[in-house]
Structure 1
Amino acid sequence: MFKKSAKYLIALSLTVSSSVVMAHGGATGIVKERMDAMGDMKDSMKEVSDMFKGKAPYDVDKVREAAEIIKGHSGNALTKLFPEGSMQHPTEAKPNIWDEWDRFTKLADHLGVLGEGLIKAAGNTEAPNEDKGMMGDSGMMGNGHMMGNDHMMGGSSMMGGHMVHTAEEYGKMPVEMVFNMVSDNCSSCHTRFRKEKE
């Protein structure tokens, strides 16, 4: 019985290990660490996005948990995963990260501020509109947002005619708006610093 169980566990662990390796194309070391971190954030973003798309019920606690993961992988926790020259296969990082380190660092730091803002804003919901998500036609901030793709470069956003800089200020906004800002921040970073998938 024990031999049968042991064989099953070995086979299972090999299957799990190989699927993890396949998911990252054989990444090891720091490249694997950052790909794992990006995967955690991607999963968290998808979970919250599904709530706003009406694919899952809105859950304040799950939004806060997802925001904690995003915040936990931001700032120095993110930038330390990109030591200069870490371009081993199968990295998706572009070498310009190190040429534009200040810009990359600002995006990483601002992601932390937005993550904390999302934690604080999680309870700021509006009544869902069945076909249009929680904020109606605007779809988070949709096409009507004021900031464009590089809006996070300065680490602030517009709200009510003044610049927003702190997690506390973001925490007073509608949650879906803050979530969209997190998404925009991620997109700005990916557009600038991640290779296109082939």
Structure 2
Amino acid sequence: MKKTTFASAILLAGTTLTALAHGNATGIVKERMESMMVMGDAVKSVTPMMRGEIAFDADALREAARIFQAHSGTALTEKFPEGSGGKPSEAKDAVWQEWSRFTDLAEQLATYARGLEMAAGNGLLAGGGMSAGSMMGGGSMMGGGSMMGGTAGMMSAKDIGAMPADAAFNMTTQVCSACHARFRAEDD
């Protein structure tokens, strides 16, 4: 579960920083920041369940998954029109320079979020402690080729949906982390 905790911490920190940046953002930049904040809030709402800190609630996880779906794929990429970088945007120029890779991650998030919605009914992994990376045969997806290099090795929503809910959550939030690592600028 350490990977889930790490990925959640990254997303929660991003949500806080995004909230601070909203004061100067307008138009499409503000819209995408708000969209990211909504997804961050969804992560924040279910992370305690994934950690075993509160009782598991499949319906709450399904709702979070639906939020991810509503803000991923084309709904995400259309909030990044050419020329919408620069301050106060946190998007790196790499978004537009590597557009295909960016859109692949946005679509991967949509697919994994659909899988997460299906996995919600599976409950948490018995005994805990296994991460999605270990379920996949080792290695974190964060630096792996399939996450950072396109959809060639991407799992299907059905594959994700067959996982325990916490593993599916971990896989989904790793897509967010991979995208942020490559395409989101760090604060100065």
TM range (shorter): 0.7 to 0.9
Identity %: 45
- The structure richer in helix per residue is 2
Q: Matched residue of 1:97: which SS?
A: helix
Is 2:125–2:166's contact at 8 Å kept on the other side of the alignment?
no
Return the letter of the residue paired with 2:184. R
Give the 3 Å change call, closer, same or farther, for CA 170–148 of structure 1 in structure 2.
closer
Compare relative contact order (CA 8 Å, sep 6+) and give the higher one, 1 or 2: 2
Give the Å deviation of 1:37.
Answer: 0.3
Matched residue, 2:65? 67
Give the 3 Å change call, closer, same or farther, for CA 55–21 of structure 1 in structure 2.
closer
Q: 2:151 aligns with which of 151, 155, 168?
A: 155
Mapping of residues 109-124 of structure 1, within 5 Å: 109-124=107-122
Q: 2:174 aligns with which of 184, 187, 197?
A: 184
Question: Is residue 164 of structure 2 the alignment partner of residue 168 of structure 1?
Answer: no
Q: 2:89 aligns with which of 84, 88, 91?
A: 91
Is 1:45–1:66's contact at 8 Å kept on the other side of the alignment?
yes
Q: Matched residue of 2:173: which SS?
A: helix
Give the Å deviation of 1:178.
Answer: 1.1
Is 2:101–2:150's contact at 8 Å kept on the other side of the alignment?
no
Range with greater deviation from structure 2 (140-149 or 22-31)? 140-149
Range with greater deviation from structure 2 (20-29 or 31-40)? 20-29
Matched residue, 1:25? 23
C-alpha distance in 2, partners of 1:154/1:111?
A: 12
Give the Å deviation of 1:127.
Answer: 6.2
Matched residue, 1:38? 36
1:34-87, Cα deviation, whole Å (9 max, x unpaired): 000000001111222111112322100000000000011111000000001102
Range with greater deviation from structure 2 (74-83 or 147-156)? 147-156
Mapping of residues 133-152 of structure 1, within 5 Å: 136-139=128-131, 141=133, 145-149=138-142, 150=144, 151-152=146-147
Return the letter of the residue paired with 1:100. E
TM-score, normalised via structure 2 length: 0.79
C-alpha distance in 2, partners of 1:171/1:142?
A: 17
Return the letter of the residue paired with 2:115. G
Return the letter of the residue paired with 2:60. K
C-alpha distance in 1, partners of 2:132/2:52?
A: 13
Higher radius of gyration, 1 or 2: 1
Give the Å deviation of 1:146.
Answer: 3.3
Is 2:73–2:110's contact at 8 Å kept on the other side of the alignment?
yes
Matched residue, 2:78? 80
Aligned alpha-carbon RMSD (Å): 2.4
Is 1:140–1:177's contact at 8 Å kept on the other side of the alignment?
yes
Give the 3 Å change call, closer, same or farther, for CA 142–33 of structure 1 in structure 2.
farther
TM-score, normalised via structure 1 length: 0.75
Give the 3 Å change call, closer, same or farther, for CA 181–126 of structure 1 in structure 2.
closer
Q: Matched residue of 1:122: which SS?
A: helix
